[in-house]
Structure 1
Amino acid sequence: MAFEVITVNEAAQNRLGEILAKHPDAEGIRIGVKNAGCAGMEYTVDLVNEPDPADDKVATPAGNVYVDPKATLFLLGTELGYEVTKLKTGFTFNNPNQTSACGCGESVELKPAEMTPEMLREREMQAGG
């Protein structure tokens, strides 16, 4: 099995399929992080019309999820989900690198993951190195 930075659960795959059905020119979605909010960082989700060759690509039956390379160490091991509640609807990030979140839930504090030697070898093999 190929090394994947993140996993995408069934609910997120279903939502991804719905999004891509409405945007047939899109190649998938890109997830990342940006500096923002009181806790320091926010997750980002954007449509991808032209994939960046540097992105990590996670192929699912519903479509592709691309991971911004600047966010890889912050998202390593994350499960991308999707939930609908009375108060909020959207993608969720079950991230082992998240150390805290602000009270409103919009921003998070993240620590970079440590790549094991096995992970580094797998990434090099996939890159053809």
Structure 2
Amino acid sequence: MAVSLTPAAAQRVKTMIDKRGQGIGLRVGVKKSGCTGFAYVVDYVDEPNVDDHIFVNHGVDVYVDPKSLSAIDGMEIDYVRESLLNEGFEFRNPNVKDECGCGESFSV
């Protein structure tokens, strides 16, 4: 079981945490949302939850709650910059069975 970051994503997370001035890592999870079932939730971690799963990637701790892990196990997160106005995290989740047309939600 694992959730991983590419080197580019890890560097972006480190930069964001440094700019923020606090935080110990990145929280990745899912919530029920959209027309196909789930949406990704990404946030900073200031304090871990007691039941978090922690994955270390390129010097960044990624925290995942137990309920989300089955939906994102094996996922790789990349940071892609296509232009000055088009950049962001890209989720490569092998568990996704279907995505909505707008790309905002998915099912497993």
Would the TM-score normalized by the shorter structure come out above 0.5?
yes
- Is 1:16 the counterpart of 2:13? The answer is yes
Match of 2:37 among 35, 40, 50: 40
Unaligned stretches of 5+ in structure 1? 111-129
For residue 88 of structure 1, report the CA deviation from its aligned partner: 4.2
Match of 1:89 among 79, 84, 87: 87
Unaligned stretches of 5+ in structure 2? none
- Give 1 or 2: higher strand fraction: 2
CA RMSD of aligned residues (A): 1.6
Superposition TM-score, scaled by structure 2 size: 0.88
The CA deviation string for residues 35-89 of structure 1, in whole angstroms up to 9 with x for no partner, is 0011111011011111112111112334211112110111111111111235742
* Percent of pairs with identical residues: 38
**More deviation in 11-20 or 83-92?**
83-92
Superposition TM-score, scaled by structure 1 size: 0.75
Equivalence for 1:55 = 52
Contact kept, 8 Å, 1:57 with 1:64, in 2: the verdict is yes
Larger of the two Rg values belongs to structure: 1
Contact kept, 8 Å, 2:4 with 2:57, in 1: the verdict is no
Change (3 A) 1:92 1:17: same
- Is 1:80 the counterpart of 2:67? The answer is no
Q: Which amino acid aligns with 1:78?
A: M
**More deviation in 100-109 or 53-62?**
53-62
